[in-house]
Every structure is written in structure tokens, then in C-alpha cells.
Amino acid sequence: MQGAWRGRITGLHPGKDIEPHRIIRPPSLKPGATIGVVSPAGPVDGHELEQGLHRLEEEGFRLRLGANTLSRDGYLAGRDDARLEDLHGMFLDPEIKAICCARGGYGSMRLLDFLDYPMIRANPKPLVGYSDVTAVLLAVFQRAGLVTFHGPVVRDVAGKDQQNLKSMISALTDNGPLLIALNADGVVRPGKSRGPLVGGNLSLICHLVGTRYLPPLRGAILFVEDTGEPAYRLDRMLTHLRLSGHLEGLAALVAGDFEGCLEDSALKQLLADRTKGLDMPVAAGLPVGHGRRNLTLPIGVEAEMDTDSGTLRLLEDRVSL
């Protein structure tokens, strides 16, 4: 592992916006490439992070930590300007070919108003994370027009299911089609639909409603996941999305893992109830989220969900225009 990189941007300044003319996909990761590691949200335990870094090194990647990756300021991984500096610095550094987040937690939303979206678009690189990092993934997709990747954080890649790490590497190194099997018992409302894949943590998606950082969901296949939320709060979040008009016009809705929330049968019932009267396929059982399986999904890539075959198919090198 290489030493920590010292960023070039100091202080918080209002971020710059663009209205992208088209969505772009970052270049594929090459063997032996250097991956930058940042903590845009909560603080990470050094021992847990070290195990993840070691696994990535075993896969042949070189690593570079942001100067503030291991910082701690209460429930945040350092000050906002320091976390922003690390993230901007990784996009600006030509030696860094992909950016992986150390962990989730809380704090990513605090950076959205200050991100330099034109700079990010001018330096397209894969950005990977999930949970609280959903906020940055969706904002960068929406404001910079860059496909981002919902996938494992670094502290997770040494444990859980090693298929998660393989999936992440495959998603970053290959733009080809991908077929993901859904849970055979997860169909809520049958059907087949196609659209750009958008989603992430349900709580963060709800918190982005009413901001300029949530991508348009009309015509999209929306995937959601969450952890540790009681049933009434999931009900409230789905109801919020419905009342705000964000469930209407979806191409499809698919639920990932809801670790520590409610039983699968209760989740299906809740999805059926909250999408009643909406003409779209709905399913549960997508292997993403805080549970054992967290396969990597590119946000913005064209996908097709088919409940008859029980699959979510990502189309080859297709992005939403």
C-alpha cells in the first residue's frame, strides 16, 4: 500500500454544477491499476480497513489512501473540507484510476453542495460505495453525468461473501452484459420492463427528494435496500416516495436486502401495498445491500428486469441518454 496522498484543495466552497448533455461511463479498470481510498462519510476502524486493503492488494491492485481516510471527528471521518479535499484529490490525480469508499455511516450528504461536478466529469473514474455513500453516487450521476457504482466499501471486501469482491472487480473491468438472478420467491407483481438502473439506500433516496441531487426516476428501474429499519419506517419512506410522485412512472421496482428490518414475506406485502395501482413489475430478492450478498451495480446503465425469468439483466455498454 502506498502512502497517503496530500490533496490540493482546501476549504469549503460552493460546488459547481453542469447540465450534462449525455451520460458517460468511466474507463474500465486495468490490472495493476491504482485505486484511491477515501472516507466521505463516517470514520472507519483502521484494523477493518487494513483487512480490506490487503484483499485488494491480493487482487493485484495498488492502493493510495486519502490524507484524511482514517480521520475522526465525532460521527464523521474528519471535517467536511478535509473529506471533500480527499474526494476531489482522487479525481484530479491522474495516477488514480478508480475511487473506493472506506465505509458508509453518515456524512456524504454534507458534501453535495460543494462537489466540483464539472471537474469530476472532466476526470471520469469509477466511484464505488453503498449505504450512506448513495448520496454521492446519485449526486455525481445526476450533476456530473457520470455512471457510478453501487457496491462494497473497502472494509467489507475481506469478509462476508467473496463473490462481492469478484462482482466489484468484474463491474469495474468489464463493460459487458451481466445477468443477475433474483430470488425465485420474490415476485410481487409480474412483468418485464426496461430502463436505466438507479437506486441505493432507501433512507438516502428519500432524503434526496426535493433536492437537485436525486436523478429523475420516471422510466427507471429503481432498486432499494436498507438496514435496521422497523417496518413502519420503511412504510413511511415508501409512502413518501409515492406521495412525492417518485413511484409513479417507474419502469420497475426491485428490493435488495433489508438486513435486520423485516421478514421476506412482510417485505413483499409492504411492497405490494405501497405500489398498489401502479402499472409496473415489482420484485424482491436482488442480492445487494447490507446483508451477505452485495453485488456491484452501475447506476445509469440500461437494464431489463424480467420476473418470468427471475433476472435483472444489465445491457452491454448501454447508458441512459
Give the active site residues: 131, 225, 290
Size of the chain, expressed as the number of residues it contains? 321
Phi, then psi, of 192 in degrees rounded to 5:
-135, 130
One DSSP character per residue, 227-292 reads: ES--HHHHHHHHHHHHHTTSSTT-SEEEEEEEETT--HHHHHHHHHHHTTT--S-EEE--S-SSSS
> Which residue type sits at 117?
Y
CA dist., res. 225 & res. 68, Å (int): 28
Q: What is the largest CA-CA distance in the chain?
A: 55
242, three cell numbers? 409515492
DSSP codes joined into one string, 133-178: GHHHHHHIIIII-B-EEE---GGGTTSS-HHHHHHHHHHHH--S-E
CA separation for the pair 27, 42 (Å, rounded): 28
Spacing of C-alpha 5 from chain mean position: 24
Q: Which single residue is written with the C-alpha cell 496530500? A: 6
Beta strand pairing call for 282-284 and 187-189? antiparallel
